[in-house]
Amino acid sequence: MKPSVLIVEDDVEFIDELRRIFAKLPRPSMLAVASSHSAAVAALDRDFYDLILLDLKIPTVDGALDADSRHGHAVFAHARSMTPGTPIFVLTGSPAEDFIRPMLRQTNQVDIWGEGVPLETIQFLRKLNVDEFPKQIGPMISAIDGLNDIEIIGTTATFGPEEKRLVSIFAKKFRGVSVRVSPLGGGLSAAKVARLYVTDSQGARVCDVAAKLGSPETIRSEGDRYNRMVVRLDPGATPRNLGELYFGGGKQSGIFYGLAEGFSFSAFDAACSGEVPPGQAVKALEAATANWRRDIAQTRRPIHQVRRRMLTDEWHRRILEEFSIPWAVDFEAREIQTLWACIHGDLHGANALLSKDGRAVLIDYGDVGDGTVSLDPNTLELSLLFHPDGPDMGDWPSLDQAKHWGSPDAYLQGCPAEEFVRECRRWANDVAAGPREIAASAYSYLIRQLKYDETNKELALALLDGVKTFFDAR
């Protein structure tokens, strides 16, 4: 993919001059031109750009005669908001213009494209010194074009140009030349989770990485959770944070975790295929999360606090308006005894990687935080039925079986992952304050599934009835 540059400028002669300058650079670029505020905003909302060249004095719409620097400032603010990872060159008439200093306060000095050279993410180009443009812009275009030397192999069907840029930048920073990409279960969130196997020019392994690509807010939040909470786990249970990328990928950022060799299977693989013994897999995950539960006292909480860990009040209201769950409001008002501690929060089968010898590592920390401890084993169990990357469970369970969720012998007849489910139940029983906590966390997981279009709604509702029956019997 050629370097993509957006030129925001309404002076036709100067646009032609910029085209000539880019045409003479050693590496070709794809140039897009927006001649007004509205055209620039539309372009930024629609497409990905590696660089932006912005003249501040532009009209509101193409052909208008109301050119004003306020319109360019609005484009600058929009670009910083919508594509914070894209460097901007501001075109100026004078080095003494009063807007320069405030804009420079927003710059960062970053090795954007893995060249080993820190660059300012906001720079200024004087139109009067147009002959110096190649010296300022040329190295950036060469660095961006050099990312094409990184070969990306494998499943990138869901990757846009922004994600591919981030993958290439990461590989280049580690002096890799090839990246084999394979999907990891990212659930139903907007972020994308993938495994990157990076090799050097001799085909040797550089690193094996779990990468999460998403908005800057998502990545910063995950990095913070990792530094505050994930590091409390045993080092063998969590991969090392190899770095975060916030520039070069437009709207997208990334966080990258180094994996030790041998973690070739997911918990979904263990559940049905026997690649790793199911009981051993669940026990390994229970042990991996043990530090979070150590020395934590029980508390008493209403069930709606447990549910809010999974589903907002607004979504809960909408779901109760759409589906008939007449007992839900009274149920959520009940108080239960619970062990409230740090949990993974989204421990579906694709977020747990396993080695052949039964070691486990957790990935994707976007939901790590305080919650009821039985939510992790319940999520692991129920994700077999609801996660889009889960295994084929055939026609199990029937709706009648789902209503017997609290009676394993009846519920598990014909289950292709019986040992796995029983071990998840044992884990939940071992760590929870009591059966009502287990019911409350299962309810919370299941009612959230009703917000997703892909969910088997009849099955979720039948399981909710089974959870309620289990709770009432306690």
Average pLDDT over residues 157-165: 90
Give me the pLDDT at residue 190, please. 78
Q: What is the pLDDT of residues 365-376, one digit of tens each?
A: 999 999 999 999
pLDDT at residue 157 is higher than 80 = no
Domains of the chain are 4-146 (3.40.50.2300), 150-258 (3.30.200.20), 263-472 (3.90.1200.10)
List the single range of 32-41, 107-116, 427-436, 439-448 with lowest mean pLDDT: 107-116
Give the separation between CA 373 and CA 428, rounded to whole angstroms: 8
111-125, 388-402, 448-462: lowest mean pLDDT where?
A: 111-125
Best mean pLDDT range from 90-104, 142-156, 363-377? 363-377
In this prediction, residue 127 carries a pLDDT of: 87
Cα 401 to Cα 461: distance, rounded to the nearest angstrom: 12
pLDDT of residue 186: 60
Across the range 39-59, mean pLDDT stands at: 95
The letter for the amino acid at 217 is: E
pLDDT in the model for residue 374: 98
pLDDT for residue 206 is more than 90: yes
Report, as an integer, the average pLDDT of 397-424: 97
Confidence category of residue 124, pLDDT binned at 50, 70, 90? confident
Q: What is the mean pLDDT of the chain?
A: 93
Q: CA-to-CA distance for 202 and 400, rounded, in angstroms? A: 57
- Is the CA virtual torsion 219, 223, 229, 230 positive or negative? positive
Q: Is the pLDDT of residue 398 over 90?
A: yes
- pLDDT for residue 119 is more than 90: no
**Encoded tokens for 167:** 């993958």
Stretch 190-213: mean pLDDT, rounded?
Answer: 94
Average pLDDT over residues 277-298: 95
Percentage of the chain modeled with pLDDT above 70? 97
pLDDT classification of 143: cutoffs 50, 70, 90? very high
- pLDDT value at residue 184: 83
Lateral strand order in the sheet of 178-183: 151-154, 178-183, 192-199, 205-214, 253-258, 240-245
pLDDT at residue 296 tops 80: yes
Question: Is residue 146 within 8 Å of residue 172, measured between CB atoms?
Answer: yes
Average pLDDT over residues 196-205: 96
What pLDDT, on the 0 to 100 scale, is given for residue 357? Answer: 86
**What percent of the chain shows pLDDT beyond 90?**
81
Task: Judge whether residue 34 has pLDDT over 60.
Answer: yes
Greater model confidence, 129 or 281: 281
Would you say residue 453 has pLDDT above 60?
yes
Residues 10, 11, 14, 20: is their CA dihedral positive or negative?
Answer: positive
Range from 109-118, 169-178, 181-190 that averages highest in pLDDT: 169-178
The answer to whether 210 and 350 have CB atoms below 8 angstroms apart is: no
Sheet with strand 122-126: strands edge to edge: 30-34, 4-8, 51-55, 88-92, 122-126
